Structure 1
Amino acid sequence: MAEEKAIFAGGCFWCMVKPFDSQPGIKKVVSGYTGGHTVNPTYQEVSSGLTGHTEAVEITYDPDVIGYDQLVETYWQQTDPTDAFGQFADRGDSYRPVIFYQNEDQREIAEASKEKLQNSGRFKEPIVTKIEPAQTFYPAEDYHQDYYRTNSAHYNAYSEGSGRAGFIRQNWKK
Protein backbone atom coordinates (compact mmCIF):
# COMPACT_ATOMS: atom_id res chain seq x y z
CA MET A 1 0.00 0.00 0.00
CA ALA A 2 1.51 3.31 -1.11
CA GLU A 3 1.92 6.21 1.28
CA GLU A 4 2.71 9.88 0.71
CA LYS A 5 2.57 13.03 2.82
CA ALA A 6 1.13 16.49 2.29
CA ILE A 7 1.55 19.52 4.57
CA PHE A 8 -0.88 22.44 4.60
CA ALA A 9 -1.09 25.52 6.80
CA GLY A 10 -4.41 27.32 6.84
CA GLY A 11 -4.83 29.08 10.16
CA CYS A 12 -5.76 27.18 13.29
CA PHE A 13 -4.75 23.56 12.81
CA TRP A 14 -7.81 22.35 14.74
CA CYS A 15 -9.97 23.46 11.81
CA MET A 16 -7.75 21.87 9.18
CA VAL A 17 -8.00 18.26 10.38
CA LYS A 18 -11.66 17.30 9.92
CA PRO A 19 -12.01 18.16 6.20
CA PHE A 20 -9.14 15.81 5.31
CA ASP A 21 -9.72 13.17 7.98
CA SER A 22 -13.10 12.22 6.56
CA GLN A 23 -11.91 11.45 3.01
CA PRO A 24 -11.16 7.99 1.57
CA GLY A 25 -7.46 7.25 1.28
CA ILE A 26 -6.47 9.40 4.27
CA LYS A 27 -4.46 7.35 6.73
CA LYS A 28 -3.62 10.01 9.30
CA VAL A 29 -3.86 13.77 9.87
CA VAL A 30 -1.53 15.25 12.48
CA SER A 31 -1.65 18.81 13.83
CA GLY A 32 1.74 20.42 14.24
CA TYR A 33 4.23 23.13 13.41
CA THR A 34 6.54 23.73 10.46
CA GLY A 35 8.40 26.38 8.52
CA GLY A 36 10.38 27.88 11.38
CA HIS A 37 13.77 27.74 13.02
CA THR A 38 13.06 26.34 16.51
CA VAL A 39 13.55 22.60 17.06
CA ASN A 40 10.60 20.82 18.73
CA PRO A 41 8.62 23.99 19.42
CA THR A 42 5.75 24.09 21.89
CA TYR A 43 2.35 25.64 21.27
CA GLN A 44 3.27 28.54 23.57
CA GLU A 45 6.52 29.16 21.68
CA VAL A 46 4.81 29.07 18.26
CA SER A 47 2.01 31.32 19.53
CA SER A 48 4.61 33.90 20.62
CA GLY A 49 5.50 34.44 16.97
CA LEU A 50 9.22 34.10 17.66
CA THR A 51 9.83 30.60 16.25
CA GLY A 52 9.03 31.30 12.60
CA HIS A 53 6.73 28.25 12.61
CA THR A 54 3.17 28.13 11.39
CA GLU A 55 0.40 25.83 12.57
CA ALA A 56 -0.10 23.13 9.96
CA VAL A 57 -1.41 19.64 9.33
CA GLU A 58 0.60 16.73 7.99
CA ILE A 59 -1.57 14.34 6.01
CA THR A 60 -0.49 10.78 5.32
CA TYR A 61 -2.46 9.43 2.38
CA ASP A 62 -2.67 6.62 -0.16
CA PRO A 63 -2.07 8.18 -3.61
CA ASP A 64 -3.79 5.20 -5.24
CA VAL A 65 -7.03 6.27 -3.52
CA ILE A 66 -6.78 10.07 -3.34
CA GLY A 67 -4.54 12.32 -5.40
CA TYR A 68 -2.50 15.28 -4.23
CA ASP A 69 -4.56 17.44 -6.58
CA GLN A 70 -7.71 16.45 -4.64
CA LEU A 71 -6.01 17.33 -1.35
CA VAL A 72 -5.05 20.76 -2.71
CA GLU A 73 -8.66 21.36 -3.80
CA THR A 74 -9.86 20.44 -0.32
CA TYR A 75 -7.24 22.77 1.15
CA TRP A 76 -8.43 25.79 -0.84
CA GLN A 77 -11.98 25.20 0.38
CA GLN A 78 -10.92 25.48 4.05
CA THR A 79 -9.10 28.80 3.75
CA ASP A 80 -9.32 32.41 2.69
CA PRO A 81 -6.59 32.31 0.05
CA THR A 82 -6.64 36.12 -0.23
CA ASP A 83 -5.44 36.71 3.35
CA ALA A 84 -1.66 36.41 3.77
CA PHE A 85 -1.58 37.64 7.38
CA GLY A 86 -3.50 34.84 9.08
CA GLN A 87 -6.83 33.13 8.70
CA PHE A 88 -10.11 34.47 10.03
CA ALA A 89 -9.79 35.39 13.75
CA ASP A 90 -6.26 33.97 13.90
CA ARG A 91 -3.72 36.63 12.96
CA GLY A 92 0.03 36.59 12.45
CA ASP A 93 2.74 34.50 10.83
CA SER A 94 1.93 31.39 12.84
CA TYR A 95 -1.45 31.29 11.05
CA ARG A 96 -0.36 32.18 7.52
CA PRO A 97 -1.70 30.08 4.64
CA VAL A 98 0.98 27.92 3.02
CA ILE A 99 1.10 24.81 0.89
CA PHE A 100 4.36 23.04 1.80
CA TYR A 101 5.35 20.79 -1.09
CA GLN A 102 7.36 17.56 -0.63
CA ASN A 103 8.62 17.23 -4.19
CA GLU A 104 8.54 18.81 -7.63
CA ASP A 105 5.28 17.08 -8.61
CA GLN A 106 3.51 18.52 -5.58
CA ARG A 107 4.93 21.97 -6.31
CA GLU A 108 3.70 21.85 -9.91
CA ILE A 109 0.23 20.66 -8.88
CA ALA A 110 -0.04 23.36 -6.19
CA GLU A 111 1.15 26.13 -8.54
CA ALA A 112 -1.25 25.06 -11.31
CA SER A 113 -4.13 24.85 -8.85
CA LYS A 114 -3.34 28.30 -7.44
CA GLU A 115 -3.26 29.75 -10.95
CA LYS A 116 -6.55 28.06 -11.81
CA LEU A 117 -8.16 29.50 -8.66
CA GLN A 118 -6.79 32.98 -9.43
CA ASN A 119 -8.17 32.82 -12.97
CA SER A 120 -11.56 31.47 -11.85
CA GLY A 121 -12.85 34.85 -10.73
CA ARG A 122 -14.13 33.33 -7.48
CA PHE A 123 -12.25 36.01 -5.51
CA LYS A 124 -11.77 39.65 -6.48
CA GLU A 125 -8.51 39.92 -4.52
CA PRO A 126 -5.32 38.10 -5.55
CA ILE A 127 -4.62 34.59 -4.27
CA VAL A 128 -1.74 35.14 -1.83
CA THR A 129 -1.28 31.67 -0.31
CA LYS A 130 2.41 30.80 -0.37
CA ILE A 131 3.80 27.62 -1.91
CA GLU A 132 7.04 26.69 -0.17
CA PRO A 133 9.30 23.63 0.17
CA ALA A 134 8.44 21.41 3.12
CA GLN A 135 10.58 21.65 6.21
CA THR A 136 10.71 19.51 9.32
CA PHE A 137 7.21 18.93 10.69
CA TYR A 138 6.85 18.79 14.47
CA PRO A 139 3.67 17.19 15.85
CA ALA A 140 1.77 19.39 18.28
CA GLU A 141 0.99 18.38 21.83
CA ASP A 142 -1.47 15.49 22.27
CA TYR A 143 -4.35 17.73 23.38
CA HIS A 144 -4.31 19.40 19.94
CA GLN A 145 -4.69 16.11 18.03
CA ASP A 146 -8.14 15.22 16.65
CA TYR A 147 -9.55 18.27 18.43
CA TYR A 148 -12.77 18.18 16.41
CA ARG A 149 -13.48 14.78 17.97
CA THR A 150 -12.15 15.19 21.49
CA ASN A 151 -13.57 18.69 22.04
CA SER A 152 -16.38 18.83 19.49
CA ALA A 153 -18.49 21.51 21.21
CA HIS A 154 -15.53 23.89 21.52
CA TYR A 155 -14.35 23.04 18.01
CA ASN A 156 -17.77 23.80 16.49
CA ALA A 157 -18.11 27.05 18.46
CA TYR A 158 -14.60 28.09 17.44
CA SER A 159 -15.18 27.28 13.77
CA GLU A 160 -18.29 29.47 13.77
CA GLY A 161 -16.99 32.18 16.09
CA SER A 162 -13.72 32.65 14.21
CA GLY A 163 -15.61 33.34 10.98
CA ARG A 164 -14.19 30.31 9.18
CA ALA A 165 -17.45 28.33 8.89
CA GLY A 166 -19.38 31.34 7.57
CA PHE A 167 -16.65 32.17 5.05
CA ILE A 168 -16.65 28.59 3.77
CA ARG A 169 -20.44 28.59 3.43
CA GLN A 170 -20.41 31.93 1.61
CA ASN A 171 -17.48 31.29 -0.72
CA TRP A 172 -17.23 27.55 -1.27
CA LYS A 173 -20.62 25.90 -0.82
CA LYS A 174 -22.08 27.41 -3.97
Structure 2
Amino acid sequence: MLSPDYVLSMARYNAWQNRQMKAALEALPEAELRRDRGAFFGSIFATVNHLLWADAMWMSRFADWPKPDAGIDDSTTLVPTLAVWGAERFRADARILLWAERLGALDLTGDLRWSSGATGRVQVRPLGQCLAHMFNHQTHHRGQVHAMATAAGGEGWVSDLAFMPGEGPWL
Protein backbone atom coordinates (compact mmCIF):
# COMPACT_ATOMS: atom_id res chain seq x y z
CA MET A 1 0.00 0.00 0.00
CA LEU A 2 1.19 3.52 -0.75
CA SER A 3 1.63 5.96 2.10
CA PRO A 4 0.44 9.59 2.13
CA ASP A 5 4.11 10.64 2.35
CA TYR A 6 4.91 8.72 -0.84
CA VAL A 7 2.01 10.29 -2.72
CA LEU A 8 3.04 13.76 -1.55
CA SER A 9 6.65 13.13 -2.62
CA MET A 10 5.48 12.02 -6.06
CA ALA A 11 3.18 15.05 -6.37
CA ARG A 12 6.11 17.31 -5.49
CA TYR A 13 8.35 15.45 -7.95
CA ASN A 14 5.73 15.81 -10.69
CA ALA A 15 5.48 19.59 -10.17
CA TRP A 16 9.28 19.99 -10.03
CA GLN A 17 9.76 17.98 -13.21
CA ASN A 18 7.03 19.86 -15.06
CA ARG A 19 8.54 23.24 -14.13
CA GLN A 20 11.90 22.13 -15.52
CA MET A 21 10.32 20.60 -18.61
CA LYS A 22 8.33 23.79 -19.30
CA ALA A 23 11.52 25.89 -19.17
CA ALA A 24 13.28 23.50 -21.57
CA LEU A 25 10.35 23.49 -24.01
CA GLU A 26 10.02 27.28 -24.00
CA ALA A 27 13.58 27.47 -25.33
CA LEU A 28 12.72 25.37 -28.40
CA PRO A 29 11.32 26.75 -31.65
CA GLU A 30 7.62 26.07 -32.23
CA ALA A 31 8.42 23.90 -35.26
CA GLU A 32 10.57 21.60 -33.09
CA LEU A 33 7.77 21.22 -30.55
CA ARG A 34 5.32 20.12 -33.24
CA ARG A 35 7.61 18.01 -35.44
CA ASP A 36 6.62 14.34 -35.59
CA ARG A 37 9.50 12.52 -33.94
CA GLY A 38 8.14 8.99 -34.17
CA ALA A 39 7.19 8.81 -30.49
CA PHE A 40 3.94 7.15 -29.45
CA PHE A 41 2.07 10.47 -29.65
CA GLY A 42 4.30 11.87 -32.39
CA SER A 43 5.53 15.27 -31.28
CA ILE A 44 6.79 16.85 -28.09
CA PHE A 45 3.72 19.08 -27.89
CA ALA A 46 1.28 16.22 -28.51
CA THR A 47 2.97 14.19 -25.77
CA VAL A 48 2.79 16.95 -23.14
CA ASN A 49 -0.84 17.55 -24.08
CA HIS A 50 -1.58 13.85 -23.58
CA LEU A 51 0.17 13.91 -20.22
CA LEU A 52 -1.88 16.88 -19.02
CA TRP A 53 -5.03 15.15 -20.25
CA ALA A 54 -4.15 11.90 -18.48
CA ASP A 55 -3.43 13.65 -15.18
CA ALA A 56 -6.81 15.37 -15.38
CA MET A 57 -8.50 12.07 -16.23
CA TRP A 58 -6.91 10.24 -13.29
CA MET A 59 -7.64 13.11 -10.91
CA SER A 60 -11.27 13.08 -12.03
CA ARG A 61 -11.34 9.56 -10.59
CA PHE A 62 -9.31 10.26 -7.46
CA ALA A 63 -10.56 13.70 -6.44
CA ASP A 64 -13.72 14.49 -8.44
CA TRP A 65 -12.02 16.89 -10.84
CA PRO A 66 -14.05 17.59 -13.96
CA LYS A 67 -13.41 14.87 -16.51
CA PRO A 68 -11.69 16.15 -19.67
CA ASP A 69 -14.13 16.75 -22.52
CA ALA A 70 -11.84 14.96 -24.98
CA GLY A 71 -11.24 11.24 -25.10
CA ILE A 72 -7.85 9.59 -25.37
CA ASP A 73 -7.87 9.90 -29.18
CA ASP A 74 -8.05 13.70 -28.86
CA SER A 75 -5.78 13.96 -25.81
CA THR A 76 -2.89 15.22 -27.96
CA THR A 77 -4.78 18.37 -28.91
CA LEU A 78 -6.08 19.30 -25.46
CA VAL A 79 -4.71 22.86 -25.57
CA PRO A 80 -3.59 24.90 -28.60
CA THR A 81 -0.29 26.51 -27.51
CA LEU A 82 2.65 25.99 -25.21
CA ALA A 83 1.67 29.11 -23.24
CA VAL A 84 -1.82 27.72 -22.57
CA TRP A 85 -0.31 24.33 -21.75
CA GLY A 86 2.07 25.96 -19.26
CA ALA A 87 -0.75 27.75 -17.45
CA GLU A 88 -2.92 24.62 -17.35
CA ARG A 89 0.02 22.48 -16.27
CA PHE A 90 0.85 24.90 -13.42
CA ARG A 91 -2.75 24.86 -12.24
CA ALA A 92 -3.05 21.07 -12.43
CA ASP A 93 0.21 20.54 -10.55
CA ALA A 94 -0.89 22.93 -7.79
CA ARG A 95 -4.20 21.09 -7.46
CA ILE A 96 -2.47 17.70 -7.35
CA LEU A 97 -0.17 19.00 -4.59
CA LEU A 98 -3.06 20.39 -2.54
CA TRP A 99 -4.91 17.09 -2.89
CA ALA A 100 -1.82 15.08 -1.89
CA GLU A 101 -1.18 17.29 1.16
CA ARG A 102 -4.64 16.43 2.52
CA LEU A 103 -4.45 12.64 2.08
CA GLY A 104 -4.59 10.34 5.07
CA ALA A 105 -3.77 6.64 5.20
CA LEU A 106 -7.42 5.60 4.96
CA ASP A 107 -7.84 7.69 1.80
CA LEU A 108 -5.44 5.32 0.06
CA THR A 109 -7.27 2.06 0.81
CA GLY A 110 -9.76 0.07 -1.18
CA ASP A 111 -10.46 -0.25 -4.86
CA LEU A 112 -11.08 2.33 -7.55
CA ARG A 113 -13.95 1.62 -9.93
CA TRP A 114 -14.32 3.58 -13.18
CA SER A 115 -15.71 3.32 -16.67
CA SER A 116 -12.74 3.25 -19.04
CA GLY A 117 -13.02 4.91 -22.41
CA ALA A 118 -9.83 3.12 -23.47
CA THR A 119 -11.19 -0.38 -22.83
CA GLY A 120 -14.91 0.33 -23.13
CA ARG A 121 -15.71 -1.40 -19.86
CA VAL A 122 -15.77 -0.88 -16.11
CA GLN A 123 -12.38 -1.30 -14.46
CA VAL A 124 -11.71 -2.16 -10.81
CA ARG A 125 -8.19 -1.91 -9.43
CA PRO A 126 -6.62 -1.24 -6.04
CA LEU A 127 -6.49 2.52 -5.51
CA GLY A 128 -2.79 2.40 -4.61
CA GLN A 129 -2.00 0.67 -7.89
CA CYS A 130 -3.90 3.36 -9.81
CA LEU A 131 -2.04 6.14 -8.00
CA ALA A 132 1.30 4.46 -8.67
CA HIS A 133 0.29 4.16 -12.32
CA MET A 134 -0.52 7.88 -12.60
CA PHE A 135 2.90 8.86 -11.25
CA ASN A 136 4.65 6.20 -13.35
CA HIS A 137 2.77 7.37 -16.46
CA GLN A 138 3.95 10.94 -15.83
CA THR A 139 7.56 9.82 -15.55
CA HIS A 140 7.32 7.63 -18.64
CA HIS A 141 6.07 10.41 -20.91
CA ARG A 142 8.38 13.05 -19.45
CA GLY A 143 11.24 10.68 -20.30
CA GLN A 144 10.02 10.59 -23.88
CA VAL A 145 9.80 14.40 -23.95
CA HIS A 146 13.30 14.68 -22.48
CA ALA A 147 14.69 12.46 -25.24
CA MET A 148 12.81 14.33 -27.97
CA ALA A 149 13.78 17.75 -26.59
CA THR A 150 17.48 16.91 -26.45
CA ALA A 151 17.32 15.33 -29.92
CA ALA A 152 15.86 18.64 -31.11
CA GLY A 153 18.95 20.42 -29.78
CA GLY A 154 17.37 21.58 -26.53
CA GLU A 155 18.63 21.31 -23.00
CA GLY A 156 17.71 18.39 -20.83
CA TRP A 157 16.80 18.74 -17.18
CA VAL A 158 17.66 16.91 -13.98
CA SER A 159 15.16 14.11 -13.46
CA ASP A 160 16.68 12.26 -10.50
CA LEU A 161 14.35 12.18 -7.51
CA ALA A 162 17.42 12.13 -5.27
CA PHE A 163 18.28 15.65 -6.45
CA MET A 164 14.86 17.21 -5.95
CA PRO A 165 15.29 20.24 -3.70
CA GLY A 166 14.16 19.60 -0.15
CA GLU A 167 13.28 15.95 -0.64
CA GLY A 168 14.58 12.98 1.28
CA PRO A 169 17.09 12.38 4.02
CA TRP A 170 19.98 12.21 1.55
CA LEU A 171 20.02 16.01 1.02
The structure carrying a bigger strand percent of its residues is 1
Q: Does TM-score exceed 0.5, indicating one fold?
A: no
In the superposition, the TM-score normalised over structure 2's length comes to: 0.27
Give the greater-gyration-radius structure (CA).
Answer: 2
The structure carrying a bigger helix percent of its residues is 2
